[in-house]
Structure 1
Amino acid sequence: MNYSNVEDIPPEKWLELNKKKIYFGHQSVGFNIIDGIELVMKEHPVIQLNIIEGRKFDGPEGAFVHSRVGKNRDPESKIIDFTNVIDKELGQTPDAAALKFCYVDAYDKINVNNIFLKYKDATEKLKKDNTGLTIIHFTMPLHTQK
């Protein structure tokens, strides 16, 4: 089912989401995304994500765990760190995971196709090795030169 706005989503769907284990790997822009999620939660109290900055699920209940991964201007380091967190640090397989690249990761000397292939291979391996894992894909931010 598709919903056109937050108010259309039934409360039981939010309760399902609140019970999920979600991991979000990012750098600086990711904190803006977390801020946005928290603003939406304030406006819609039925959304009660347990947002935790860290690299470990600490209990049986749902959590939205997020952390910095890799280094800006080194997208491969983000892919490697993201997979390492999921495979070795979280302690439990997440229901969903997302990696956010930054616009500075797509600078003019980077081979974007190569990074895409490494990301694709890594996420396919994560899904194969972690039954039930859903990967949430973000587009890589782009910018133009002035």
Structure 2
Amino acid sequence: VPAEAGIASQRAGLQSLIDEEESRLEAPGFTGDNLLAEPHRPLTPETMRLLSGLPAELYANIAEHADRGEWYAICVTFDTDAIHVSASDTTTPADMGLGLGSGLDRYRTIIETHGGTFQTHTEQAHWQLDVSIPAKN
């Protein structure tokens, strides 16, 4: 049962971070979905740092670049082979066409160096991120 306690503790820590970021976005009027699935096994300290930092960067980018009147979503899921992080929002007209800032670009490098994928897609004002991070034993 110690592994299950570790998983629950890690998920609680990530959920706390998500709840804090969600509250920070609600204050200026953002509305969205924030979903965190249950990990299948304990996460390494390196993965926990990544799963704390990447969503924090995504929330900061939503606050800076997204349209407050449009819905946003951040979702973290786990399967046996990988951890998946997805995010979507609608950018403000002033931010359309902007590329990755240095924060997300840094996460792209970390994730791709560890064999993961990091893809962004923009169509009109809709921005989408899909990340897959290989699960470590």
Q: With structure 2 as the length reference, what TM-score do the two structures score?
A: 0.31
Higher alpha-carbon Rg: 1
Greater RCO structure (CA 8 Å; 6+ sep)? 1
